[in-house]
Amino acid sequence: MPQYSNFPRSFGVLYYPGFEVLDIAGPLEALNILARMKGFEDMELSIISKTLDPVSVGPIAPDTTSKNFAGRQRYLPTHTFANAPPLDVLIVPGGFGSADPLPSGGKPDIEGYVDFAHKAYCGLEGRQPLKYFITVCNGTIIAAKAGILDGHKATTNKDGWNAITPLGPKTHWIAKARWVSSGNVWTTSGVSAGGDGILAWMNSILPDEIVTKVEVSMEWIRSKSADNDPFAEIEGCQDVLPKEK
Amino acid sequence: MPQYSNFPRSFGVLYYPGFEVLDIAGPLEALNILARMKGFEDMELSIISKTLDPVSVGPIAPDTTSKNFAGRQRYLPTHTFANAPPLDVLIVPGGFGSADPLPSGGKPDIEGYVDFAHKAYCGLEGRQPLKYFITVCNGTIIAAKAGILDGHKATTNKDGWNAITPLGPKTHWIAKARWVSSGNVWTTSGVSAGGDGILAWMNSILPDEIVTKVEVSMEWIRSKSADNDPFAEIEGCQDVLPKEK
């Protein structure tokens, strides 16, 4: 029996046009460090998108007013929805690309991602159901549209609070939360909160000494309390109770 | 006269095989947010590498023992050393790819990056000299080899302290430092410290209200003190005085 055999091994992340770079880099950094450690060398990562084309974190629509600073940052997927392998964990980043309307005024191109997240979570069409589902920031938009947050407690980024929480009317939204765990669904607050959230998630499965090694290696000044969230007050966010069952 | 005209506009980052994902994602996240703000739309980013091939954050040598979790993460450059535009700021991430020997036992492929950093900093071969040079983590290896840290105070990641500081014998290495500013050379501690370092650097040029907007937007629980570095003590690091002039 290998050590830490209860720790999941097959990770997937969703890259969609206009995802936020640090939303995914915090969790991936922690996982990269863990995957270098003895006993975790068999961790596997699939970067999943609509096609295998590079995915940009920049504006979705052609942008004639700026030099498109973020748009220069392009990342390569490894799999499409069609050929993604069985997954234990799916991580969904936030980003302007999931906002409706987009900052450019158009519609977001996230239907395929919502559909994939739904099927992966539930284990439909021959897929194995996920063991864990994790969102960072407004990755909650995809999660809520996929129905994954129904009946769960959740949080999201604080500057999008009033626009996002209505998308999950069956969700109990916790405002003052760096992250929220609810069964196998983990949601974190905005952007940087993904780093604290992934470490808390790891720590729910692995012993302290392993997670501390990861945290020290990434020199992350970690928030160990789920309610250490100064941004809820700054942005004036309030809890939202479920409006439907 | 545009507002904030003293803030630099042309940013470059170096991507080399085996760079660390969060080293660059922290600074880029902060800059991405700034570049969306009024008055900063003309910020420009060049992602510079040896070739235009995708650059992986994973192991450099073929790795037969693991599933190459990090190696699946591949990023696209926009420029090579030969065609990079004039730069005001160059940011150099750390990563296992700059270690000598590499974790796989081979030699790092960073000579071209060292040479580019040297010429960019000094303004050689028709280049304009950089206004600012910023490293994260063991990006100091490239900086030290390029001579950029000579005569400067600097810091680096704490788990590589004893291996890296001898590469800069003309540098005063400060152990308990989240970041160090020394003239136009900014160095930060490991990985996550790049986020605090870039915000401190921004704040050295821009007013508090702008930087606070960036910090709140990325929900970064910021260390505002340069000496807020718990990892120096954890790793037992001591200051190192220059051994040569």
pLDDT band at A66 (very low <50, low <70, confident <90, very high): low
Flag the least confident range among A54-63, B23-32, B154-163: A54-63
A128 CB near a chain B CB, below 8 Å? no
Residue A3 is predicted with a pLDDT of 77
Average pLDDT score over residue span B93-115: 91
Reading the block at residue A165, the tokens are: 């929480």
Give the pLDDT confidence of A120-150 residue by residue, as tens digits: 999 999 999 999 999 999 999 999 999 999 9
Q: d(Cα A98, Cα A195) in Å, to the nearest integer?
A: 21
C-alpha distance from B11 to closest chain A C-alpha (Å): 9
Residue B178, pLDDT > 80, answer yes
With beta carbons under 8 A apart, name residues in chain B contacting A11.
Answer: 69
Residue B64, pLDDT > 60, answer no
Residue B63 is predicted with a pLDDT of 52
Indicate yes or no: CB of A189 within 8 angstroms of CB of B219.
yes
Residue B12, pLDDT > 70, answer yes
Nearest to B35 among A28, A70, A223 (CB): A70
Interface of A with B in 209-228 (CB under 8 A): 216-221, 223, 228
* DSSP class of B236: T
pLDDT band at A244 (very low <50, low <70, confident <90, very high): confident
| Percentage of chain B lying above the pLDDT 90 cut | 87
C-alpha distance from B245 to closest chain A C-alpha (Å): 31
Q: d(Cα A187, Cα B223) in Å, to the nearest integer?
A: 24
B63 CB near a chain A CB, below 8 Å? no
Domain ranges of chain B: 10-228
CATH architecture of A10-234: 3-Layer(aba) Sandwich (3.40)
Interface of B with A in 129-168 (CB under 8 A): 137, 157-159
Nearest to B57 among A32, A42, A218 (CB): A32
Residue B65 is predicted with a pLDDT of 53
Average pLDDT score over residue span B75-90: 96
Asked if A75 and B75 count as a contact pair (C-beta separation under 8 A), the reply is: yes
Residue A232, pLDDT > 70, answer yes
Indicate yes or no: CB of B31 within 8 angstroms of CB of A69.
yes
Average pLDDT score over residue span B58-84: 81
Indicate yes or no: CB of B67 within 8 angstroms of CB of A42.
yes
With beta carbons under 8 A apart, name residues in chain B contacting A46.
Answer: 72
Average pLDDT score over residue span A73-96: 96
Q: d(Cα A135, Cα A117) in Å, to the nearest integer?
A: 11
Indicate yes or no: CB of A28 within 8 angstroms of CB of B36.
no
Reading the block at residue B171, the tokens are: 């540098």
A122 CB near a chain B CB, below 8 Å? no
ipTM strictly over 0.90?
Answer: yes
| Percentage of chain A lying above the pLDDT 70 cut | 96
Specify the amino acid at residue B228: N
Name the superfamily (CATH) of residues B10-228: Class I glutamine amidotransferase (GATase) domain (3.40.50.880)
Q: d(Cα B224, Cα A6) in Å, to the nearest integer?
A: 39
Residue A177, C-beta contacts closer than 8 angstroms, at least 6 positions apart? A155, A189, A226, A227, A229, A232
Flag the least confident range among A55-64, A137-146, B95-104, B232-241: A55-64
Give the pLDDT confidence of A144-160 residue by residue, as tens digits: 999 999 999 999 999 99
Asked if A79 and A101 count as a contact pair (C-beta separation under 8 A), the reply is: no
A38 CB near a chain B CB, below 8 Å? no
Give the pLDDT confidence of B146-174 residue by residue, as tens digits: 999 999 999 999 999 999 999 999 999 99
CA dihedral A217→A136→A175→A7, nearest 10 degrees, is -60
Residue B208, pLDDT > 60, answer yes
Higher-confidence residue: A64 or B206? B206
Residue B52 is predicted with a pLDDT of 95
| Percentage of chain B lying above the pLDDT 70 cut | 96
Residue A53, pLDDT > 80, answer yes
Beta strand spans in chain A (E): 10-14, 44-49, 55-56, 74-76, 79-80, 89-92, 132-135, 153-154, 172-173, 179-182, 185-188
Name the percent of chain A in helix, strand, coil, to the closest 5: 30, 15, 50
Reading the block at residue B163, the tokens are: 């291996």
Closest CA to A7 of A29, A52, A37, A51: A37
With beta carbons under 8 A apart, name residues in chain A contacting B41.
Answer: 65-67
Give the pLDDT confidence of A149-206 residue by residue, as tens digits: 999 999 999 999 999 999 999 999 999 999 999 999 999 999 999 999 999 999 999 9
Flag the least confident range among A76-80, B97-101, B211-215: B97-101
